[in-house]
Structure 1
Amino acid sequence: MALPDVRTRFGWSTEKNSFSDIEKARQFFELICSDDKEEPKLKTYGDVRKLKSVVGHPRAEDSLFNPEEPLSEAIRIGEQGRKSVDASDLLDEAKASLASIGILQAQKLRPKDLVVINELLSLLEQLKKNVASNKSK
């Protein structure tokens, strides 16, 4: 591993030229090795290098270790954390993400997901009021 932050995150010791933390090593190997259910998330040397965008960003790392999310999502979250994002871009992204929830996925939502939906609706209503009050000034 050539990237210092990635080496540290996955417990690689350059002195020993091996992993020094078994749990972190297990996490890394789960990303590069496939199992009966999933393809590996990191398939190429380039994928491993892209971890520099992910390491150090808790939300991006959560996405990385979520087997249901692609590597590209973890990278997007990590890169988003590195730069200032325009509010309109965030709204477009949220709209696209929510629009991608299909009927089958919606049928699997749980009561805790309804709580999140209500929180989102409340945030959107507040945002709408703020925009309307700024336009009237």
Structure 2
Amino acid sequence: MTSREPSPLARPRRRSRMLGLAVQAAACLLACSVTAPAQAAGAAAGHRLQNCGWNEAAQGEHAYYEHCATDTDVWIQVTRLFRGKYHRCVGPGRTNLDADATGAWYDSTYRGGLCSHPGDTGP
């Protein structure tokens, strides 16, 4: 074996890193394909969409989750101070969260990620 030839142990790590990069690229493409049409639809409707996803509470307001897709309802996981986590079905647009909410994010692993009755909650 020459000094320029990679060791046999380096090959699996390179494959693993390449697979990780491929997964990240696919996730980015999916996110862009979901948010770009929603942003265009919001602009066409004459109003500006807020930041997609979790938004911290402003003074005198509750934190909220902004679901930017226009044609799906999704499950998000909400974390609360001292009360634990729960899942909530949200539709497009702004959904105000509990006063003690400390975070919220889309959860694709909970019941397949999609739901059909905004406002429903789960464990």
TM-score when normalising by structure 2:
0.30
TM-score in terms of structure 1 length: 0.28
> Which protein is richer in helix relative to its size?
1
